[in-house]
Amino acid sequence: MSALTNPQNELKYQKKKKRKKSAWNLKRNWPLHVLVMPAIILAFIFNYLPLAGIVMAFQEYKPWHGFTGSEWVGFDQFRKIFEFSEGRQVIWNTLVISSFKIVFQLIIPIAFALLLNEVRVTAFKRSIQTLVYLPHFLSWVILGGILLDLLSVDGGLVNQFLNYFGINSIFFLGDGDWFRVTVIASDVWKDFGFSAIIFLAALSGINPALYEAAVVDGANRFQQVLFITLPALLPITIVVATLALGNILNAGFDQIFNLYNPLVYDKGDIIDTYVYRQGLLGGNFSYATAVGLFKSVIAFILIVLGYRLAYKYANYRIF
């Protein structure tokens, strides 16, 4: 066997060629690397360095003792999550609120996209799109203040409307059950227009010849939607639904924090707000870290599962 056909020599040659190509790309694109460096540094400082604090979840952390001097307690903090009734309650609250959000954030954008796709007047269609997209770009600080005024028991516009028809005022933000309804409804209202972009894009990719053939066969508009449009939306629907599994423990800290109060802790307190109250307000750093770490680990598993399901059933790939 000659030196040129020796597999080991060929492997060395390929590695050397790859190193030269990498060096050439680095030399050619170094301005881009410099440009992205500040973002990498900030991410390292604020996202990766704080991970060292995870050790608090396994300690009875005392700030005056530090990481090295605090007592090591193993998994005691994690056991407290399920021993404390409020720990179990916030997990349940998070699952209930986030599950309903995911379901309605899937159904309503699809329904809106289907209805908007039937509009033939372009100017009217674009106006509707703009109006429903706008709330997505408003922060929950602003929307929270608006909802507090609209839903107030004393003088709120919604309750004034109900009183006009003889219906008693509803304590939307002070009754636990109504608080959940308010949180879910306001979240859907804020984001359904923006979420519909995905489904509108999928609708634009449907071959018009399919509808023409359906018309020739005598199908009406409802039948066309039922047998052409919905099946065409099925793959992207599966992708969105499976990827949403990773957010099942994210019920929306910004929204809940700006709307909730002690009256609705039993029905409206979620993991993120619970961690905030236990850690920053209560000073129970170890327990709060354990709750946050528990949520992160479960969320990571669900994200991986979601991507695997999306790849298996809808051929979805990250790259």
CATH architecture of 76-314: Orthogonal Bundle (1.10)
Distance CA 80, CA 291 (A): 9
pLDDT in tens, 5-51: 566 666 676 777 777 777 777 777 778 878 888 999 999 999 888 88
What are the pLDDT digits (tens) for 233-266? Answer: 888 888 888 878 778 888 888 999 999 888 889 8
> Where in the chain do CATH 1.10.3720.10 domains reside?
76-314
Q: Which of the pair, 312 or 296, is modelled with greater confidence?
A: 296
Find out whether 69 and 62 touch, Cβ atoms under 8 Å. Answer: yes
84 or 19: which leads in pLDDT: 84
Query: 68 vs 52, 58, 65, 150, 254, CA distance in Å?
Result: 12, 12, 7, 51, 34
Q: Which residues contact 143 (CB under 8 A, 6 or more apart)?
A: 135, 186, 190, 255, 258
Q: How confident is the model at residue 318 (pLDDT cuts 50, 70, 90)?
A: low
**Sequence-separated contacts (24+) of 114-123 with Cβ below 8 Å:** 114/199, 114/203, 114/225, 114/229, 116/196, 116/200, 117/200, 117/203, 117/229, 118/221
For residues 34 and 97, the model is more confident at 97
Looking at residue 119, its pLDDT comes to 84
> pLDDT averaged over the chain?
85
Average pLDDT over residues 144-172: 88
Average pLDDT over residues 218-232: 87
- Does 306 or 209 have the greater pLDDT score? 209
Q: Which residue has the tokens 């039948």?
A: 223
Percent of the chain residues topping a pLDDT of 90: 19
Q: What is the pTM of this model?
A: 0.82
Question: Tens digit of pLDDT for each residue in 62-73?
Answer: 888 888 888 888
